[in-house]
Amino acid sequence: MTKEIRIKNVKIGGENIFCLIGGPCIIENEEIVFQTAETLKNICEKHQIPFIFKASFDKANRTSINSYRGPGIEKGLEILNNVKEKLNIPITTDVHCIEQIEKVAKVVNLLQIPAFLSRQTDLIIEAGKTGKPVNIKKGQFLAPWDIKNIIEKFESTGNKNLLITERGVCFGYNNLVVDFTGIPIMRCLGYPVIFDATHSVQKPGGMGKKSGGNRELVPYLAKAAIAVGVDGIFMEIHPEPEKALSDGPNMLKLEDVEELLIILKNIYYAIKK
């Protein structure tokens, strides 16, 4: 059993049901953010699934120099704070450099460190020093047991409010594959493990100037993750993924979320019995 991590009113790990961390990949505008956040909140409350809203104010690792990166930290945090206050839900977003941490930590309930930065010692330590819960996404280049070193870096700050997210491993060029044995291996290290079902079907740089993906495979991987005992599901979700400005090919359509969550909940209780 993993330890229980509390993020506002959400309990992750321990004996708690899996949570959903979800929202659009990137903040495109306030309308899409609120539409997605409110719909997901209502679905999760209806089915008693803990929920944390996620969206990025900046994506610093886009494939192309011409790709949309987001509204920036000031406007982005303003929108995220409005979501948190008006909808009364916990929120998370990612940080890409030490200079962002203090400002972001004042707004969000959960800090997120992107997969490409999961070995950046200074970033991990500064995030840990805030005392906030932190979600570190396992790099596509790391083995499950490599997470132990990341945990040691984080714990050196005295902070033990940590989540680890699995998001697939590089498999040749422009492709990712998920080794589900990694989930129980990482859970044995004591912290809750989240499964990123949408980035795991991404094809990084697969469309030349942008990443591709197979969103139709998201439900299959999410179901497998719940079956092996993951503590939460991370999914990027958009009302119209085909028109999204980032990660459209691998994002789940908002109207498909409720049906999938019902199935995941049924699997969770079947396995628990």
Cross-strand partners of 111: 93, 134
What is the average per-residue pLDDT within 17-26? 98
Torsion over CA: 146, 161, 131, 86 (sign): positive
Q: How many domains does the chain have?
A: 1
> H/E element holding 25?
none
Higher model confidence: residue 102 or residue 208? 102
pLDDT of residue 273: 83
Does residue 208 surpass a pLDDT of 90?
Answer: no
Are 200 and 242 a contacting pair, CB within 8 Å? no
pLDDT of residue 142: 97
Question: Where does the pLDDT of residue 133 fall: very low under 50, low under 70, confident under 90, or very high at 90 and above?
Answer: very high
Domain that holds residue 15: 5-272
Spatial separation of the C-alpha atoms in residues 173 and 144, rounded to whole Å: 21
Mean pLDDT for the chain?
96
What is the average per-residue pLDDT within 12-30? 98
Spatial separation of the C-alpha atoms in residues 59 and 56, rounded to whole Å: 7
Spatial separation of the C-alpha atoms in residues 192 and 186, rounded to whole Å: 8
Spatial separation of the C-alpha atoms in residues 254 and 9, rounded to whole Å: 24
Spatial separation of the C-alpha atoms in residues 204 and 256, rounded to whole Å: 24
Higher model confidence: residue 272 or residue 120? 120
Residue with the two structure tokens 């991404």: 202
Identity of the amino acid at 68? Y
CATH of the domain at 160: 3.20.20.70
Does residue 26 surpass a pLDDT of 90?
Answer: yes
Percent of the chain with pLDDT over 70: 100
Question: Where does the pLDDT of residue 50 fall: very low under 50, low under 70, confident under 90, or very high at 90 and above?
Answer: very high
Question: Where does the pLDDT of residue 63 fall: very low under 50, low under 70, confident under 90, or very high at 90 and above?
Answer: confident
Spatial separation of the C-alpha atoms in residues 58 and 41, rounded to whole Å: 23
